[in-house]
A and B are shown apart, each in its own frame.
Chain A
Amino acid sequence: MKNIEFRTAVSAQGGLLVMGGVAGVSAGSRVSLKDHAGNLRNGLVIRSSDDAVLVEVFEGTDDLDLERTWVRFLDEPFKLPVSRDILGRVFNGAGLPRDGRPPIISGDRRDVNGEPLNPAARAYPREFIQTGISAIDGMNSLTRGQKLPIFSGGGLPHNRVAAQIVRQAKLLGDASSEFVVVFAAFGTSHADARFFQESFEESGVINKVVMFLNLADEPVIERLLTPRAALTAAEYLAYDLDYHVLVVMTDMTAYAEALREVAVLRGDVPARKGYPGYLYSDLAEIYERAGRIKNRSGSITMIPVLSMPSDDITHPIPDLTGYITEGQIVLGRELFNQGVYPPVTVLPSLSRLMKDGVGKNFTREDHPHVASQLFASYAKALEVRGLAAIIGAEELSDSDRRYLEFAQGFERRFIGQGEDEDRSVYETLNLAWDLLSMLPPESLIRVSEDELAKYHKGSA
């Protein structure tokens, strides 16, 4: 079957091609297609029956006719050749080189769809990753094997934050704990892709980076393959070569939009905002490939970036993502407009795995309590700020005025930091106590009395 070329196209429309008179084609099989100009295109069988086969063409069906289109069914799923040589390389969304160097030749070719991990084989992520960013380390810390997305909006510096995490991420007290990076960009601009490339070059990690790029003006359907190809490379690096892999993917919104585009073409029943009902399952197939496996030393930590359409966190894409990932780092326009970098809005941000990765044996014993206290005090401070906006700061009580100052200091000094500033977690925690010391000790009930005595500057 692999070598037979069929010329039995029945219809072609919007990226979908129907082939007639072909029997016994396997579902999910890869397709190679030659158009009238002799150019090769890639495709995937999405529906197969005795008499007709539905093919999704990655490069689209533009400039395609039915009479001079030759199709071969390769009878295998999309596979990515993997070897140690992928480090330092740049590929397109389908895993072909786009850096002008020769393709990867390897006998080891992996199905990009992967297979779901047996839940009983997973190891729970516990090792604290220090990103050097206080808002993350102090209050929403990342652990090895976690998937923690950055929820952002158009114009916000999510790329700079992601790049800073990549530059600074390390395990505490383990110098050899370097990460290799798998970077996947789909639907992003050339400028953004170049920003990352230059950032990797500057920090000298470029030889430990594998890039998969499908940029904004490139085939949309290929976008559905890009994260899968990238994660296949990540799994190989993590579980075959024992690397700790940091996967940065941007932008998941572009991915979901591509999925919607294809779903509409296929005539799938739309659920919310035109997205297909299987958006959740599809996103889960991608996100759930992060993690750790028992008895293997490598790991996959995932930082997907997604821009919330009109900054709406209840939009289906951030909403479903939040239900799958283990927390989220939310960037906010208000802080950004005030010149705070990184503009992390801490209240809606969350790390679900933090509870098991910080504290006594991981960072410092007061860490969980300090984080909880910062959240509570800042939430209260924002209430006070709202009140001050109505009745004026002069009318506030003494204690409320201290909260106002705390909010100011917290945003400027704790959240705000330099793009090259790499704070240790201890610096972060000490800074937190500096700020908490602005508040009366009796209002700090989330920290223990011992911790107050030890760290609160006013109670000495």
Chain B
Amino acid sequence: MGKILEINGPLVKLQLPETVIGEQVRVGRIGLVGEVIGRDGDTALAQLYEDTSGLKPGEVAEGLGWPLSVELGPGLLNAIFDGVQRPLNAVREKSGDRMARGVSVPSLPRDRLWHFIPDPRRRNATQVDGGDTLGSVQETESIVHRILTPPLIHGELLDLAPEGDYTVEEVLGRVKLADGSIEKLRLFHRWPVRIPRPFKQRDHAVKPLITGQRILDTFYPLLKGGKAAIPGPFGAGKTMLQQQIARWCNAEIVIYVGCGERGNELTDVLEFMPELKDPHTGRPLMERTLLVANTSNMPVVAREASIYVGITLAEYFRDQGYDVVMVADSTSRWAEALREVAGRLGQMPVEEGYPAYLGSRLAAFYERAGRVETLSGDHGSVTLIGAVSPPGGDFSEPVTSHTKEIIQTFWALSKELADARHYPSVDWLESFSGYVPSAAKWWAENVDPGWEAARAQALDLLAASEELQRIVNLVGVEALSSEQRWTLEAAGLIKEGLLQQSATDEIDSYASPEKQFALLSALLEIFRHGMRLVKLGAPARRLIQMPLMAQARRWKSQHKSEDMDALKAKIARIPAEFESVAMDYEQPSSPIPAPRGEATTHAERRAAPRD
């Protein structure tokens, strides 16, 4: 038993000999919990997860004997936890609408019964290894929770309970370890959050994560098991985009970590998610979702921990063979929590007050993503999407620049686009994805072999229009040639008819890969037909005024992903629409011969803007 020596914000100096760095401590009469972050002789320095006001020097302090850990077992899904895995609904029942300090509630409900079905493979087994499936619990209608042997357990399985209803604490089986000691198995086990859960080996990521957001899936794909960052200044629509991903992505489990963000936004997720159906299973989305919420006004040290709590939960579901997506909003707040503690420790700041270990901590965190072969030989993945909130929207600041070096997919949000209410405001010039070749294989096999070429063509068009726009800004649109004007118009069509996507529009909110590709190729087809006519001598002005141009911009919100036939019928009429215009120019006297087949080659079109 030790005592408090000094209180300085969330840091307390304790007299606590023999404590281990990382050990959980309980201090003061009200029993605030924290973790030891340093030792100096008999004194230990601890950071507390709760507000320290009212603590007095001389009050008691004790080490709890384990590091910050999470409880892993049935009861996780559909729950909302704080940054140190306290279940917020249970805390509310106990202490009211406000977060009272020193409240201790077990993370998983202790009185609830779960129907456990033993795995047939364990029926006559004598040996059991870490990660082996002991059995399963149907946790929600859409998710089977596999009960795993804790990773570090290897030994002789002495007995295993038969099918039946059990609480998480009841002993289901016993394992005799190599040293002769007996380990009891339960529906849940604990795992320290700062240590990555073990797996057999890393796999290649092969399948794209389909989010239903056109600019992401079609232009800057992310793979299951990949790492992505969403940097954006405030008001750029970062939170909306992340919520869209959490709602629509085709992962089996979604973990949303609200790290130092707004309380009302989490309430939005909490109220809105239960009403939504998973587009892939038709079940309520909450059944596959788990929230970790540490809002900006909650204690800063718990904010630092919340990211690790989230990723450990993600790894646990990965180990069961699921594809998991974890969204961390925002990693900048986590970095700021690091900075705050480092500042109070008097550590030498490097860039903008951040400690020198910021980059290595960020890298180690993102490396916990990946597609792996689990200990039991299954395959699962953790896809990590981190929001970054750069101060003043400056992407050269430390958190954004360190993150950029680690991740593979970068969805840069732009304030200019958001100001014009172009959502999602993903900047098509600043963003990148290192996963395009892998994603292209999937698109070619599952949607259309022309995906990679069409994507590249659309991006070329957008880049070309950017150059043209610069000219227009200097000398006006009248200075452009007809071909250039048509290029500009077609880029506008792609921006408004494809890239812009309304999260609040029922139809537009989600687009299947098929719909995404149909729209993309349709808009490119319009471009090609128009370009052919322009080369025949048709003025771009006339083409721009075609009713088709306004209609095509609305297609995205007129047809659901399930209603592809109607959309395809409209697309099929594109040639006819141009035919009526073509009549006036396709005369034999036309000075330019009509090209055959593909209207413009890649090279020709690239050259056009530079005429």
Interface residues of A (CB under 8 A from B): 23-29, 47-50, 77, 113-125, 145-146, 268-272, 276-278, 280-281, 284-285, 287-289, 291, 293-294, 296, 313-316, 319-320, 322-324, 326-328, 347-348, 350, 352-353, 355-356, 368, 372, 375-376, 379-380, 383, 386-387, 390-391, 395-397, 400, 442-443, 445-446, 449
Q: 15 pairs across A/B with beta carbons < 8 Å?
A: A24-B56, A27-B54, A116-B98, A116-B295, A119-B82, A119-B258, A119-B267, A119-B295, A280-B333, A285-B297, A291-B263, A314-B394, A352-B239, A375-B419, A390-B474
CB <8 Å contact, A122 and B339: no
Q: Do B58 and A397 touch (CB < 8 A)?
A: no
Q: How far is the CB of A446 from chain B (nearest CB, A)?
A: 8
Is B53's CB under 8 angstroms from A26's CB? yes
Q: Are A28 and B53 in contact (CB under 8 A)?
A: yes
Residues of A within 8 A of B135 (CB): none
**Is B473 an interface residue when CB atoms closer than 8 A count as contact?**
yes
In contact, B339 and A115 (Cβ under 8 angstroms): no
Asked if B360 is an interface residue, CB under 8 A from chain A, the answer is no
Residues of A within 8 A of B553 (CB): 445
Selected contact of A278 from candidates B300, B504, B545, CB within 8 Å: B300
Q: What would 12 more interface pairs be, CB under 8 Å, given A27-B55, A120-B80, A379-B419?
A: A29-B54, A115-B101, A116-B98, A117-B98, A117-B99, A119-B267, A271-B339, A314-B391, A314-B394, A326-B262, A387-B473, A390-B473
Chain B nearest Cβ from A243, distance in angstroms: 17
The answer to whether B98 and A118 have CB atoms under 8 Å apart is yes
Query: Would you give the shortest CB distance from B591 to chain A, in whole angstroms?
Result: 26
Q: Are B476 and A387 in contact (CB under 8 A)?
A: yes
A26 in contact with B235 (CB, 8 Å): no
B389 CB-CB contact with A under 8 Å: yes
CB distance from A341 to the nearest CB of B (A): 22
Asked if A280 contacts B478 (CB within 8 A), the reply is no
Give the distance in Å from the alpha carbon of A376 to the alpha carbon of B420 in the complex.
5
Cβ distance B499 to chain A, nearest Cβ, rounded Å? 13
The one of A26, A293, A395 in contact with B56, judged by C-beta atoms closer than 8 angstroms, is A26
A281 touches B504 (CB 8 A): no
Cβ-defined partner of B262 (8 Å) among A324, A391, A395: A324
Q: Which residues does chain A contribute within 8 Å of B419, judged by CB atoms?
A: 347-348, 375, 379
Interface size on B, residues (CB 8 A): 85
Is A124 within 8 A of B271, CB to CB? yes
Q: Known contacts A271-B352, A278-B340, A326-B262; is A50 also within 8 Å of B6 by CB? A: yes
Q: Within B519-570, which residues are at the interface with A (CB < 8 Å)? A: 545, 547, 549-550, 553-554
Instruction: Report the Cα distance A269→B351, complex, angstroms.
Output: 12
Residue of B with least CB distance to A295: B97
In the assembled complex, how far is the CB of residue A214 from the closest CB belonging to chain B, in whole angstroms?
22
Q: Are B53 and A27 in contact (CB under 8 A)?
A: yes
Contact call A49/B271, Cβ cutoff below 8 A: no
Q: Mark B409-432, 1 if CB is under 8 A from A, else 0.
A: 000000100111110000000000
**Contacts of B228-287 to chain A: CB distance below 8 A:** 233-235, 239, 258, 260, 262-268, 270-271
B93-128 Cβ-contact flags toward A at 8 Å (1 or 0):
001111111000000000000000000000000000
A392–chain B nearest beta-carbon distance, Å:
9
Q: How far is the CA of A379 from the CA of B57 in the complex (A)?
A: 59
Residues of B within 8 A of A24 (CB): 56-58
Contact call B54/A123, Cβ cutoff below 8 A: no
B234 touches A319 (CB 8 A): yes
User: Is there contact, CB below 8 Å, between B340 and A323?
Assistant: no
For the complex, give the distance between the alpha carbons of A28 and B340 in Å: 18
Known: A25-B57, A445-B496. A323 touches B475 (CB 8 A): no
Identify the closest chain A residue to B415 (Cβ): A348
Nearest residue, chain A, Cβ from B337: A281
Q: Please tell me which one of the listed residues A123, A284, A294 contacts residue B296 in the complex, with CB atoms under 8 A apart.
A: A284
B393 at the interface (CB under 8 A from A): yes
Docked Cα-Cα span, A347 to B547, in Å, equals 29
CB nearest to B391 among chain A residues:
A319
Chain A residues within an 8 Å CB radius of B293: 119-120
Residues of A contacting B258 with CB < 8 Å?
Answer: 119
In whole angstroms, what is the CA distance A287 to B262 when docked?
Answer: 9
Closest A residue by C-beta to B348: A269
Bound complex: CA A323 to CA B232 (Å): 11
Q: Give me the 6 closest cross-chain CB pairs, A-B, nearest first.
A: A28-B53, A314-B392, A284-B296, A49-B6, A271-B353, A288-B297
Distance of A315 Cα from B234 Cα, bound (Å)? 13
Q: Which residues of B contact A293 (CB under 8 A)?
A: 97
Do B53 and A116 touch across chains, with their CB atoms under 8 A apart? no
Bound complex: CA of A270 vs CA of B235, how far in Å? 26
Q: Give CA–CA (A180, B469) in the complex, Å.
A: 51
**B201, CB-defined interface residue at 8 Å:** no
B-side contacts of A29, CB under 8 Å: 53-54
CB-nearest residue of chain A to B89: A120
> Assuming A118-B99, A145-B264, A277-B353, is B7 touching A50 (CB within 8 A)?
no
Residues in A neighbouring B55, C-beta threshold 8 A: 26-27, 48
- In the complex, A442 Cα to B493 Cα: how many Å? 13
Q: Which residue of A lies closest to B341 (CB)?
A: A277
Residues of A within 8 A of B91 (CB): 118, 120
CA distance A356 to B504 in the complex (A): 9
- Provide the bound-state CA to CA distance between A162 and B93, in Å: 38
Residue B437 at the chain A interface, CB threshold 8 Å: no
Indicate if the CB atoms of A120 and B270 lie closer than 8 Å. yes
In the complex, whether B349 has a CB less than 8 A from a CB of chain A is yes
Q: Closest approach, in angstroms, between the C-beta of A12 and any C-beta of chain B?
A: 19
B377 proximal to A (CB < 8 A): no
Q: Whole-angstrom distance from the CB of A410 to the nearest CB of chain B?
A: 14
Q: Complex formed: what's the CA distance from A114 to B239 in Å?
A: 27
B8 contacts the other chain (CB 8 A): yes
CB-based nearest A residue for B90: A120
- Pairwise interchain contact A322-B235, C-beta atoms closer than 8 A: yes
Pairwise interchain contact A288-B296, C-beta atoms closer than 8 A? yes
B72 contacts the other chain (CB 8 A): no
Contact at A122–B234, with CB atoms within 8 Å?
A: no
Interface centre among B89, B267, B293, B333, by most chain A C-beta atoms within 10 angstroms, is B267
B339 touches A324 (CB 8 A): no
Give CA–CA (A442, B26) in the complex, Å: 67
Considering the complex, give the chain B residue whose CB is closest to the CB of A284: B296
- Tell me the complex Cα distance, A162–B297, Å: 25
Q: Is the CB of A124 within 8 A of B343?
A: no
B597, CB-defined interface residue at 8 Å: no
B343 touches A121 (CB 8 A): no
Q: Is B477 interfacial (CB 8 A cutoff)?
A: yes
Interchain nearest-CB distance for A154 vs B (Å): 20
List the A residue with the shortest CB-CB distance to B552: A445
Bound Cα distance from A118 to B553, whole angstroms:
44
Q: Is the CB of A25 within 8 A of B99?
A: no
Q: How far is the CA of A220 from the CA of B492 in the complex (A)?
A: 53
Nearest-CB distance from B542 to chain A (Å)? 14
Q: How far apart are the CA atoms of A399 and B536 in the complex, in Å? A: 25
**Residues B7 and A27 in contact, CB atoms below 8 Å apart:** yes
Contact of B260 among A47, A119, A280, A296 (CB under 8 A): A280
CB distance B476 to A116 under 8 Å? Answer: no
Instruction: For residue B62, give the distance in angstroms from its CB to the closest CB of chain A.
Output: 19
* A114 proximity list for chain B (CB < 8 A): 98
Check B262 against A288 for contact (C-beta < 8 Å): yes
Report how far A294 CA is from B263 CA in the complex, Å. Answer: 13
Whether the Cβ atoms of A316 and B391 lie closer than 8 Å is: yes
A272 touches B353 (CB 8 A): yes
Q: Are A269 and B346 in contact (CB under 8 A)?
A: yes
Question: Which of chain A's residues have a CB closer than 8 A to the CB of B352?
Answer: 271-272
Which of chain B's residues has its CB closest to A313's CB? B392
**Does B85 make an interface contact (CB < 8 A)?**
no
Query: Is the pair B6, A119 in contact by a Cβ cutoff of 8 Å?
Result: no
Which residues of chain B (1-42) have a CB below 8 Å from chain A?
A: 5-8, 13
In the bound complex, residues from chain A placing their C-beta under 8 Å from that of B343 are 268-269, 271, 276-278
Q: Is B454 an interface residue (CB 8 A)?
A: no
Interface residues of B in 477-529 (CB under 8 A from A): 477-478, 496, 504
- How distant is A310 from chain B, measured CB to nearest CB, in Å? 13
Instruction: Report B57 CB to chain A, min CB distance, Å.
Output: 5
Query: Is B71 an interface residue when CB atoms closer than 8 A count as contact?
Result: no
